[in-house]
Chains A and B, each alone.
Chain A
Amino acid sequence: MSFVEYKDVIQNGDTAIVFLGHDSMFAIKVQQGGATQTKYGAIRHSTDLVGKKYGSRITCSKGGWVYILHPTPELWTVTLPHRTQILYSTDISMIIMMLELKPGSIVCESGTGSGSLSHAIIRTIAPTGQLYTVEFHKQRAEKAEEEFSDHKVDHLVTVKTQDVCKEGFGVTNIADAVFLDIPSPWEAVKYAKTALKIEGGRICSFSPCIEQVQRTCLAMTEEGFIDISTFEILLRVYDVRTVSLQLPDFGAADKNNQDTPADTVSQSKRKWCTDSQQGTTQFKSGAPLREMSGHTGYLTFATKSLS
């Protein structure tokens, strides 16, 4: 496996996703002799996983079963160990498209955080692109590097431990896109401009508060960025279910009137009658979840124009 290339068969050293049921999955590193406990019993890596196909149903020691999945950045985002607050796939999707990323893109990112966005960027720019990611927290930077190497994408990413607001990205005029997820992005805008290619490029900044957005937009305008636009994207998930509602009971009808001519009104009445013998009517519904994420952050995009 690799995060940038599908493989059919599980091998030693792979990161795989164990799927227990809806909203219940976790990532494991497949290791010869290793074992993973689930509520359905143990999974023994050597016998249960290695050599099996991704997407197989794995029977655990207690007889229960799970599915084992090939990792993707989207699955990784919901299973990764949090070291920071992370970006989720809804925002990430928008960032990737609005930054115009594709195979071969050179991207600068800060901070690396837990690497949720980094994996999605790497997936998109492989096999010829490069991600330069800057994280001033040494331990987080090292952990991210370790993960990139575990996921066999370390050749596509360079992790730098420095303060992007003071030292920038450490690269000049090579990036197609820059992404900022830091508390004071306005301090890094000038470094973003330096990092971007001379012929231009795209920038995105993610901030939870509108005051941050305002300062960032000002900084972008001062640095000559154009087409500055701020978005907020919200995800609505629907629960698909069959709902049955009870029909009102109008009491017994006059038996003699049952067979009146079949005009539309009486047809629909008759339909109710047949249904009402059960007392309910059923329909499929996509009902919004009881709770949803109301705000993650504002996404501000802009273009570095020709200088």
Chain B
Amino acid sequence: MPGNGDRPNEGDKEEMAAAATTATDVPRSHTVCEGHHVVLKRDDVFKAVQVYRRRKIIFEKQWFYLDNAIGHKYGTTFEVSVGGVLQPLKAKSEEIEELNEAGVDNRNIIDDGKSQKLSRDDIEALKDQGLKGQVIVKHLIENSTTFRDKTGFAQEKYIRKKKKKYEAFITILKPTTRIMAMMYHCREPSKICHLRYDTLAQMLAFGNIHAGCKIIVAETCAGLVLGSVMERLGGYGSVIHMYPGSMPIRAAMENFGFPNSFYDHLHDFPINQLNCLLSGSFSAENETLQNQTKVVSGEDNRSPLSTQRGDGVPCAETMMDITQAGETEAKDVACEETENKDQNAVRKSNVVERKSKQEDRLKKLQAAAAALQERNADGLIIASRLYPSPLLLSLLEFVAPSRPFVVYCQYKEPLLTCYADLRERGGVINLRLSETWLRSYQVLPNRTHPKLAMSGGGGYILTGITVAMDRGKSVASIPEPQEFAAKRQKVEESIS
């Protein structure tokens, strides 16, 4: 890849080069390779990690190394054995043989807390012997005095529960929008503004995201929405990521492990420069200088690597926003923190590299500004923790007519305002405020019913289609700065 060599931001060049060749330059194969971004799955729990040799992974209270997984096909299931070694599971483990003895009802089953003859310590001892989960489950059944009296269904349920606890099977999967969206929704909903996966699915469809589009994405969902848009573009077309603050946060997007070529048409643009851009007084130089000083002054606790994120450097950044947010549960999603510190040290000493990086960033910013200023985007997706109406009204200026837009918000009320503001602005039709409910079912012979727990809220979306503005307010013509400022002010007033 051109430009790979002068990517200045990584301390450990060798490791980076290795990662770049294995993870991104080679087309994604069907086998797990070192450097690949993968997703671990145990039952319904997911965790995204990057594959490295000799790296300890902690997942669902178990630790292991992924070394053995390298070279195996995606979709392979492994069993964790002693010493954290993964053993590929040959066939589905033979079922515990059917018991033909079963009770009819539970009238004689008394809960005395003594039905299990094995004590806590006995079970621990079995585990320490390194016995397979299957064998432990067998022991538990044999030592349960009530098992034989349970009904067939109850026996099955008992076995299922014990298996879940003692049989540790881990499947390695390729990251996809489905998996990433389910993983984030389950593990860290607050990072993605409680965007449920069915809502994300609606956004991608109603945004008509497909190969060849030029899409504006304003998101603060850890890069999940951005990643899902990039997956649907498949490397054809371009994305402009609008971000608040001094750098875009994209941990989730990096977990997709896109090839390098996908990053060629990924632009990012800071939201705090939007007014300048709209009024025509934007200059990339100013912005970069500003940004640079910010980054330098905050270097000790905020890693500056992120300014380079757009390059798709597949490494430690994954963890960045998570550590910043300081949430402990986050650690499972990906994990490298130690590397950051070393890199910071190297970086500080390297003024030349920083300068070239700055030039690089300047170029990228100019490209992003130019892409926006064509005002011909094929769609707009907003999913952020920011108040949506001002963002929507500003960004719609960059969208061509007859193109869909979608605004996500965790709450309904801000979208009511959006709706009213859009009506006042004009230039949009087919507005629709909606929400989806998702109900999942347990389907088993004679035991089919909706699952007991369901997600209460997956957020709301406002969708619509842009059209040519009424006479004198054409979307294509650049609005006068004053006129626009006035409009913004009005919006802000109506908000307060």
B430 part of interface (Cβ distance < 8 Å): yes
Q: Which of A86-94, A139-147, A273-281 contacts B (4 or more CB under 8 A)?
A: A86-94
Whether the Cβ atoms of A240 and B420 lie closer than 8 Å is yes
B417 neighbours in A (Cβ, 8 Å):
284
Extra contacts besides A6-B213, A233-B438, A234-B439 (15): CB < 8 Å: A5-B212, A6-B403, A55-B402, A56-B468, A57-B468, A57-B470, A67-B429, A92-B205, A103-B235, A199-B73, A213-B443, A235-B434, A240-B420, A286-B460, A306-B76
- Interface size on B, as a range, is 35 or more
Other-chain residue from B30, B210, B212, B412 in contact with A238 (beta carbon distance below 8 A): B412
C-alpha spacing A147/B460, complex, angstroms: 34
Other-chain residue from B401, B437, B467 in contact with A236 (beta carbon distance below 8 A): B437
B413 neighbours in A (Cβ, 8 Å):
284, 286
Residues of chain B in range 329-374 having any CB-CB distance to chain A below 8 Å: none
B142 CB to closest chain A CB (Å) equals: 27
5 pairs from A and B in contact (CB 8 Å cutoff): A53-B401, A57-B470, A97-B177, A97-B197, A240-B420
C-alpha spacing A103/B212, complex, angstroms: 10
Q: Which of A120-128, A163-171, A185-193 contacts B (4 or more CB under 8 A)?
A: A120-128
A74 part of interface (Cβ distance < 8 Å): yes
B41 CB to closest chain A CB (Å) equals: 9
A214-B445, A234-B439 known; A97-B178 Cβ under 8 A: yes
Residues of chain B in range 50-83 having any CB-CB distance to chain A below 8 Å: 73-77
Residues of chain A in range 224-265 having any CB-CB distance to chain B below 8 Å: 228-238, 240
B177 CB to closest chain A CB (Å) equals: 6
A230 neighbours in B (Cβ, 8 Å):
440-441, 443
B204 neighbours in A (Cβ, 8 Å):
93, 96-97
B49 neighbours in A (Cβ, 8 Å):
none
Number of A-B residue pairs at CB separation under 8 A? 179
Most buried by A among B74, B202, B213: B202
C-alpha spacing A230/B468, complex, angstroms: 42
B321 part of interface (Cβ distance < 8 Å): no
Whether the Cβ atoms of A284 and B416 lie closer than 8 Å is yes
- A residues touching B (Cβ–Cβ < 8 Å)? 4-6, 8, 19, 22, 25, 53-57, 67-70, 72-74, 89-90, 92-94, 96-98, 100, 102-104, 120, 123-124, 126-128, 199-200, 210, 213-214, 217-218, 228-238, 240, 284-286, 298, 300, 303, 305-306
C-alpha spacing A104/B412, complex, angstroms: 36
A89-B205, A234-B436, A238-B435 known; A103-B468 Cβ under 8 A: no
Whether the Cβ atoms of B420 and A90 lie closer than 8 Å is no
Whether the Cβ atoms of B443 and A300 lie closer than 8 Å is yes
Residues of chain B in range 258-289 having any CB-CB distance to chain A below 8 Å: none
Whether the Cβ atoms of B236 and A74 lie closer than 8 Å is no
B201 part of interface (Cβ distance < 8 Å): yes
Other-chain residue from A217, A229, A237, A285 in contact with B440 (beta carbon distance below 8 A): A229
A217 neighbours in B (Cβ, 8 Å):
443
C-alpha spacing A112/B200, complex, angstroms: 26
B330 CB to closest chain A CB (Å) equals: 24
Other-chain residue from A102, A229, A298 in contact with B232 (beta carbon distance below 8 A): A102
B266 CB to closest chain A CB (Å) equals: 16
A89 neighbours in B (Cβ, 8 Å):
202, 205-206
Whether the Cβ atoms of A96 and B465 lie closer than 8 Å is no
A11 CB to closest chain B CB (Å) equals: 14
Whether the Cβ atoms of A4 and B212 lie closer than 8 Å is yes
Whether the Cβ atoms of B468 and A97 lie closer than 8 Å is no
A89-B205, A237-B432 known; A53-B468 Cβ under 8 A: yes
Other-chain residue from B181, B232, B378 in contact with A6 (beta carbon distance below 8 A): B378
B198 neighbours in A (Cβ, 8 Å):
93-94, 231, 233
A54 neighbours in B (Cβ, 8 Å):
401-402
A90-B436, A233-B198 known; A103-B233 Cβ under 8 A: yes
Whether the Cβ atoms of B404 and A72 lie closer than 8 Å is yes
A233 neighbours in B (Cβ, 8 Å):
198, 436-439
Other-chain residue from B200, B205, B438 in contact with A74 (beta carbon distance below 8 A): B205
B197 neighbours in A (Cβ, 8 Å):
97
B222 part of interface (Cβ distance < 8 Å): no
A234 CB to closest chain B CB (Å) equals: 4
C-alpha spacing A126/B178, complex, angstroms: 19
B433 neighbours in A (Cβ, 8 Å):
237-238, 240, 286
C-alpha spacing A68/B430, complex, angstroms: 12
Most buried by B among A55, A69, A305: A55
Whether the Cβ atoms of B75 and A126 lie closer than 8 Å is no
B77 neighbours in A (Cβ, 8 Å):
305
Other-chain residue from A72, A98, A214 in contact with B178 (beta carbon distance below 8 A): A98
C-alpha spacing A73/B468, complex, angstroms: 21
B10 part of interface (Cβ distance < 8 Å): no
Whether the Cβ atoms of B419 and A240 lie closer than 8 Å is yes
B238 part of interface (Cβ distance < 8 Å): no
Residues of chain B in range 211-228 having any CB-CB distance to chain A below 8 Å: 211-213
Whether the Cβ atoms of A19 and B434 lie closer than 8 Å is no
A73-B208, A124-B210 known; A231-B441 Cβ under 8 A: yes
B213 neighbours in A (Cβ, 8 Å):
6
Whether the Cβ atoms of B234 and A103 lie closer than 8 Å is yes
